[in-house]
Homo-oligomer: A and B are copies of this chain.
Amino acid sequence: MRDVAREAGVALKTVSRVVNNETGVSPQTVERVTEVIHRLGFRRNDMASKLRAGRSAASIGLIIEDLGNPFYTTIARGIETVTYPREQFLVTASSEESAERERAILLELCQRRVNGMIIVPTGLDHSFLQHEIDLGLEVVFLDRPGAGISADTVLLDNLAGAMSATEHLLSLGHRRIAVLGHDETIWTMRERHAGYRAALARAEVAYDESLIMLGPLTPDEAQRATAELLDGANPPTAFFACNNRMTVGVLSELRHRQESIDVAGFDPIETATLFSHPVTLVTYDAAELGRRAAHLLVERLEGRRTPQQVVVPTTLVTYGQSAGSNAKRRRRA
């Protein structure tokens, strides 16, 4: 900027005024300065600019479990549709389900003075962010509630979704429904498991511990778990998979065995219409989750103070023929 000022024969401040389209500069001066700016290829240093302004560079931290999971990327896409028009950049990082890594990333994002963060929380305590929040940081939790601080939250209706999936299987006559999922250290899994139990209870079907396979499972492990269950003494007659990866695992094993068993799963799968095996999925608008979170964050950045909670509904969708019906059926969860 100094170079521009010298070259155009004006003061720094005048260049600043031109760069920021401020009033009170004569058209001739504007033109002369603009010409020099183009000639020298000058571009303002946003970091210095924001430093002076005491504000952070317009950017939003997004910390999710895994950048590679389509569920999260659809969310990221939804967030971007809201933040891009507001000239906010998205700074992304994966927590890898590690509370420690999550904490390290969050603190680093604070150092960068992002003005807001959208967090899919892994850790169980986020009170260490309180100080930053007092200093103006805005936080929105997404998909799972955070703990230790009061902040906006966007959640799925996990309980109702899991209930509707389980009820769907029950209505087909199943009484032994296996469950595959992550263990209950993850909030969404607790909710979905609770939904499953609630549906059983309402139908007065006994809860059988031996049908439940939890733990951090890869799709391959889910496939093996499915095999074990099917080969057991008293095998299940249907499966409820608690997330998209579990669903893929279960279906892989069924395809491998060329067996057909009713399967319900949580999370939408884009290509489910092409599957050979019928499946009923608890679907929802993942991009909407992102948009809602981004809207809440934007509102907070614009001054709202009262914490809000948003719950996004789920929809049960059946792909392929199941129990004699050939139609693709939809039901509100």
Contact = CB atoms under 8 A, between A and B. Distances in A.
Interface stretch (A51-59, A151-159, A187-195, A231-239): A51-59
A251 B272 CA distance: 12
A121 to B, nearest CB: 19
Contact of A271 (B87, B93, B132, B248): B248
A98 to B, nearest CB: 12
A77 B68 contact: yes
A2 to B, nearest CB: 14
A202 interface: no
B80 A73 contact: no
A58 to B, nearest CB: 9
Nearest to A69: B73
Interface string A240-273: 0000000010011001000000000000011101
A14 interface: no
Contacts of A303: none
A51 B41 CA distance: 20
A90 interface: yes
Contacts of A327: none
Contacts of A270: 248
A89 interface: yes
Interface stretch (A162-170, A173-181, A274-282, A293-301): A274-282
Nearest to A130: B41
B43 A111 contact: yes
B89 A91 contact: yes
Contacts of A76: 67-68, 73, 92
A217 interface: no
Contacts of A69: 73
A259 to B, nearest CB: 14
Nearest to A320: B276
A274 B87 CA distance: 41
A51 B59 CA distance: 17
A82 to B, nearest CB: 13
Contact of A112 (B47, B113, B131, B275): B47
Contact of A59 (B41, B91, B275): B91
A252 B273 CA distance: 7
A290 B8 CA distance: 44
Interface in A95-136: 107-113, 131-132
Given A76-B68, A287-B68, A45 B113 contact: yes
A305 interface: no
A245 B159 CA distance: 33
Contacts of A275: 271, 274-276
13 contacts: A43-B107, A43-B111, A59-B91, A67-B77, A70-B70, A70-B73, A77-B94, A89-B92, A248-B271, A255-B274, A271-B271, A275-B276, A276-B276
Interface of A: 41, 43-48, 50-51, 56-57, 59, 66-70, 72-74, 76-77, 80, 84, 87, 89-94, 107-113, 131-132, 248, 251-252, 255, 269-271, 273-277, 287
Given A68-B77, A84-B93, 4 more contacts: A76-B92, A89-B93, A91-B92, A251-B274
